[in-house]
Structure 1
Amino acid sequence: MKKAGMTAWRVLVVLLVSLLAFGMLLHYGRSTQTFSRLGSQGTEVTKIQTKLKQMGLYSGKTDGIYGSSTKKSVVTFQKQQGITADGIAGKQTLQALGISGGSSAMATGGQGKYSNNDIKLLATIVSAEARGEPYEGQVAVASVILNRVEHPSFPNTLAGVIYQPGAFSCLTDGGVNAAVSDSAYKAVRDAINGWDPSGGAIYYYNPVKSTSKWIFSRPVITVIGKHRFCS
């Protein structure tokens, strides 16, 4: 009886150790598998879609949902870059796209590379330029400004883009002096975190108010509220 009891105890110990090891493997797999792939959702996916759209490789919505069209565009990009074309946005693919880290890298004191003063400045412009627009339109205006910072045709700082002569009428017509709405701050943070309803646009205008013939020649990506967003 004593020997049988010892044997049963050893079997139980082995079973418990096996279950613990299996649980650790599951946890490790879940915690390290952070690459965006078919079925993924979030700000990293939005960044991927935005980058691919800017390259002319993706024509769908920048909705943060990694669907079949996003995967197809990633595969095309991977083939161009000589990366294994598996449709998964792994580390090498993200680096080639110019996307660093995961979406969590954007959530500190200011936000990412933007200070609290930057956020305040951007919110002031968004509030003035998109007053009365739907929330998505406010995010889109913020996104256009951020897209310009990353675009080679514009200054590479937020202040440089905002204060570029003639860039924003609210700086000259007094609109910038109005109180900044709470929604503008939220819109700015959403834009910084990767949501771009503008689809990668670098221009926007209200066709009722605009007097520039040139802006009407720009290809329209999307229309939100009273604004047309263009490339």
Structure 2
Amino acid sequence: MSGLAVNHVAAQPSPEMAETDIPAAAPEPALAAVEAEPAPELDPRHVTCVAKVVHHEAANQPREGQIAVAHVMVNRVKHGFAADVCAVANQPGQFFALSRYHPNRKTATWAAAVDVARTVLAGEARDHSKGALYFHANWAKPDRFFRSRTKIAVLEDHDFYR
């Protein structure tokens, strides 16, 4: 169980999840003598899923905390919770109903969430969660589930667990 909205049941992915109005990554300046590696191809649906979770769960946190929340999703995929980050986000009892969450995509907080999602999914950010598989707001008293886990990181308003 993770996130602030533990009691919500997540909906299954919908066609809305494939929205393509994600801000494009800024193009890199051309380097004359150096051939840059091509940017990894990211599934826009995965970027949207991670960005929605980061926006909803950690938009009020510093970038390091937002990256940690995104890494929890990636860590869950690596540990076999689900096949991809959207499936992780939409598991019943986890996070919130992504298909019903429509943040204003013209805000700086949405752009920051998309940037964090792209950075983490591309493998370009250090895992500030230290391999965590769960997190919760540390202003809320941990329930039995979290008390049975090992706390491995604290970043601002979130505690991260294995």
Q: TM-score range by the shorter chain?
A: 0.5 to 0.7
1:144 aligns to what? Answer: 72
Aligned to 2:116: 187
Structure 2 residue 65 is the aligned partner of structure 1 residue 133: no
Q: Partner residue of 1:204?
A: 135
Q: Supply the distance in 2 between the matched residues of 1:185 and 1:223 (Cα, whole angstroms).
A: 23
Q: Which residue of 2 aligns with 1:109?
A: 41
Gaps of 5+ in 1: 1-103
Aligned residue number for residue 156 of structure 2: 225
Larger Rg: 1
State the Cα deviation string for residues 92-145 of structure 1 (Å, max 9, x = none): xxxxxxxxxxxx57x2332xxxx0121112111110111201110000000000
Identify if the C-alpha distance between structure 1 residues 210 and 194 changes in structure 2 by more than 3 Å, giving closer, same or farther: farther
Structure 2 gap segments, 5+ residues each:
1-36
Indicate the larger mover: 124-133 or 137-146.
124-133
1:210 Cα deviation after fit: 5.5
- Distance verdict in 2 for CA 1:201–1:194, change over 3 Å: farther
CA distance in 1, matches of 2:60, 2:72: 18
Q: Which residue number in structure 2 is paired with residue 160 of structure 1?
A: 87
Match of 2:97 among 163, 171, 174: 171
Distance 1:117 1:183 in 2: 17
Identity %, equivalent residues:
30
Map of 1:46-125 to 2, 5 A cutoff?
Answer: 107-110=39-42, 115-125=43-53
Determine helix, strand or coil for the equivalent of 1:223: strand
Residue 182 of structure 1 aligns to a residue whose secondary structure is helix
Deviation at 1:155, TM superposition (A): 1.2
After TM superposition, the score normalised by the length of structure 1 is 0.47
State the shift of 1:207 in Å. Answer: 2.7
More relative contact order, 1 or 2 (CA 8 Å, 6+ apart): 2
> Whose helix fraction is larger, Structure 1's or Structure 2's?
1
Letter in 2 for 1:171: A
Paired with 2:124 and 2:41, the residues of 1 have a C-alpha distance of: 17
Cα–Cα, structure 1 residues 136 and 218, in superposed 2: closer, same or farther, change >3 Å?
same
